[in-house]
Amino acid sequence: MKKKGHTNRSKAFSDLVRQELVKNEWSEGGEIAGAITLIYDHHRRELVNKLTDIQHDFSSITISTQHIHLDHDNCLEIIAAKGAVADVQKFANAIKAVNGVKHMALGMSSTGKEI
């Protein structure tokens, strides 16, 4: 409890139950909110255009995109998405498959409707 910063057992137990409910939403294919985080070399030919095209292909689940210049060569992009688990995973996989994307991670959470 102390490692997680919980002040009491009730809060710790509540967080564990909530996490299981969220995992259940994912496994049942419900609606999720997520963040696709990627690192890429912006010098790579046509890479930015390909990433933009993919985001347009998934415009119904793309909420927002934030672009950050990490250094002269590398950019960080964070794409907020909301939709069916399978659709968000398909979106993330399409981003990950683009040559020049150095790393991609998908963090999924609940929309809060079912927990």
**pTM across the whole model:** 0.78
Alpha carbons 5 and 14: distance in angstroms, whole number: 13
pLDDT tens for the chain, residues 1 to 115:
666 676 777 766 566 666 666 666 656 667 889 999 999 998 998 999 999 999 999 999 999 999 999 999 999 999 999 999 899 999 999 999 999 999 999 998 877 766 5
H/E element holding 112?
Answer: none
CATH superfamily of 9-110: ACT-like. Chain A, domain 2 (3.30.70.1150)
- Whether 36 and 92 have beta carbons less than 8 Å apart is answered as yes
C-alpha 77, offset from chain centre: 11
Q: What are the sequence ranges of the domains in the chain? A: 9-110
